[in-house]
Amino acid sequence: MNRREFILAGGALLAAGLSPKLIAASPTHNSVKDQDQTQALDQTQAPLKVLALVFDDYETLDLHGPIEMLGHLPSVDITLIGPKSIVRSYQGPRVVADRLLDEVVACDLLLVPGGMGTRKLVDDTRLLDWLRRQAKVSNKVFSVCTGAALLAKADLLDGVSATTNKMAYAWVTGLNDKVIWQPSARWVDDGRFLTSSGVSAGIDAALFYIAQTYGEAQARKIETLTEYRWNSDADKDPYAVIS
Amino acid sequence: MNRREFILAGGALLAAGLSPKLIAASPTHNSVKDQDQTQALDQTQAPLKVLALVFDDYETLDLHGPIEMLGHLPSVDITLIGPKSIVRSYQGPRVVADRLLDEVVACDLLLVPGGMGTRKLVDDTRLLDWLRRQAKVSNKVFSVCTGAALLAKADLLDGVSATTNKMAYAWVTGLNDKVIWQPSARWVDDGRFLTSSGVSAGIDAALFYIAQTYGEAQARKIETLTEYRWNSDADKDPYAVIS
């Protein structure tokens, strides 16, 4: 039973004391045929480990958009990590960091949001050093918006095809000319690095990651569950930079 | 100078020690012609006061989607209120409540997200009583997704045209038959009550509220800034319930 079915059942299972998370984690949810065989994770085993960086003046949706989509996977564990225990978004509301820098945490996906806070962090050697060490123990690194500025400044994207926020394109791309910057892309997937365009594009890239890892049917299921309209074509970038 | 111009300027103002929030709050940003004269707020005066309810197992994007959009208004103050100081989303990450129930806080907009947590809260008389008192000091009440279940159970929507999550439609609409439920609507605006469909629809309804209050140009500016594709027609509901 997926969350939709659970909801439609009127909460009977909740009333019975069963956790929807436990129900959702049932390995029966994703048939093998739904999965991209090249990268499919075995969902009967450990949950997908997502580690998300937070810092003061991070951009709200850069973080919470992908978390919304990833958070509906059948088995997932999302952890926030930051330089202090309580971190304030650019929009005001605060989140709690579950882990503190400079700890590194082995994970399947490292999520690096952007936001005004990156303007200072590109010169924060402690943060950049942590990013380099953390990237080594992350199966995949996913930046949203100006999160790519941090990856670029840490030299993680050298020789990698990548994109970033199109409103901040000149600033970000000026930080490192060894990156193969893409001026027109909703997101770019290049091996271990997935980089999205600005803010909302992170939601679309997160669904791409889900499709890539668990199969498109899983991504479409989550799209429906969240009543989203997925911009599923990475090449269609309404905010492309035209030089 | 708006945030886009600020970003494109490469952070020179930030380097000069000026706060982008202060810059953004300049009353020169919105010309009167951009505004809906019937409801325009005077942006040279107090910031828009947004109060958002949080509770355990709230749905991440129900809350943070609208906050993203509202948070880019030239002058805005967003406060979270909840039954305890640290609240966990359904997806895992935790937020900090700035104020605690049962305090009521006069505001321009009361945001009520949905999520699995509403299944218990519809029977929480303390919460429902607070909602009734809080609604009285809120110029407008905006629910996302199953947040409408709480408003309906508090009898706030009696005689009001409203919508909710289409995946949970039967459950929510079964809570109160005095509400004029709309099975096909991305959002419904009926006087003091704005109710959106599921999860992502809250982003679209938030942009509608911005357009209604500050003019469409302001909403379009924020749409661009966040590289979003606004589903701006409330009548186009890809997840409509067909009976």
What is the three-class DSSP state of B108? strand
Q: Is the pLDDT of residue B11 over 90?
A: no
Contact A144, A204 (CB under 8 A): no
Which parts of chain A register pLDDT below 70?
1-45, 243
Residue B243 — very low, low, confident or very high, per pLDDT cuts 50/70/90?
low
Which residues, other chains included, contact B240 with Cβ-Cβ below 8 Å and sequence gap of 6+? B166, B183, B184, B185
- Chain A neighbors of B174, CB-CB under 8 A: 10
Smallest Cα distance from B35 to chain A, Å: 23
Handedness of CA B168, A61, A73, A96 (dihedral sign): negative
CB contact under 8 A, B198 and A227: yes
pLDDT of res. A37 = 37
Q: Is A201 on the interface with B (CB under 8 A)?
A: yes
Q: Tell me, what's the pLDDT at A243?
A: 66
The C-alpha atoms of residue A231 and residue A221 are separated, in whole angstroms, by 15
Nearest CB neighbour to B227, from listed A8, A166, A225: A166
pLDDT at B109: 98
Among B219, B217, B211, B224, residue whose Cα is nearest residue B40: B211
Q: Which residue of B has its CA nearest to A5?
A: B167
**B contacts of A197 (beta carbons < 8 Å):** 227
Site from B167, B169, B186 to mutate, A interface, most A CB atoms within 10 angstroms: B167
What residue in B sits closest to A238 (Cα-Cα)?
A: B227
With 60 as the cut, is the pLDDT of residue B28 above it?
no
Q: What is the 3-state secondary structure (H, E, C) of chain A?
A: CCHHHHHHCCCHHHHCCCCHHHHHCCCCCCCHHHCCCCCCCCCCCCCEEEEEECCCCECHHHHHHHHHHHCCCCCEEEEEEECCCEEEECCCCEEECCEECCCCCCEEEEEECCCCCHHHHCCCHHHHHHHHHHHHCEEEEEECCCHHHHHHHCCCCCCCEECCCHHHHHHHHCCCCCCEECCCCCEEEECCEEEECCCCHHHHHHHHHHHHHHCHHHHHHHHHHCCCCCCCCCCCCCCCCCC
Q: How far apart are CA A121 and CA A98, in angstroms?
A: 20
pLDDT in tens, A79-108: 999 999 999 999 999 999 999 999 999 999
| pLDDT at B242 (0 to 100) | 81
Contact B199 A68 (CB under 8 A): yes
HSE value, Cβ hemisphere, 13 Å, CA-based, for B42: 3
Quote the DSSP letter at residue A177.
T
d(CA A231, nearest CA chain B) in Å: 9
> Chain A closest CA to B64's CA: distance in Å?
6
List the domains of chain B with CATH numbers. 1-30 (no CATH), 43-225 (3.40.50.880)
Give me the pLDDT at residue B193, please: 98
CB B160 within 8 A of CB A218: no
B145-168 per-position pLDDT tens digit? 999 999 999 999 999 999 999 989
Cβ–Cβ of B65/A64 closer than 8 Å? yes
| Most A-contacting residue of B14, B23, B60 (CB-CB within 10 A), to test interface | B60
Nearest-CA residue of chain B relative to A236? B229
E strand or H helix at B222:
helix B216-225
Smallest CA–CA distance, residue A31 to chain B, in Å, is 22
Nearest CB partner across the interface for A227, out of B70, B96, B200: B200
Cβ separation of B78 and A70 shorter than 8 Å?
A: no
pLDDT, residue B175, reads 98
Mean pLDDT computed over every residue of chain B: 86
Mutation to test the B interface, candidates A57, A78, A91, A120, most B Cβ within 10 Å: A91
Residues of chain B contacting residue A52, judged by C-beta atoms under 8 Å apart: 93
**Dist. CA B181–CA B172, nearest whole Å:** 10
Query: In this structure, what token pair is assigned to residue A51?
Result: 């580690």
Q: pLDDT at position B44, please?
A: 52
pLDDT at B19 over 70: no
A8: closest CA among B57, B241, B124?
B241
Using CB atoms and an 8 Å cut-off, which of residues 123-162 of chain A contact chain B? none
pLDDT at B217: 98
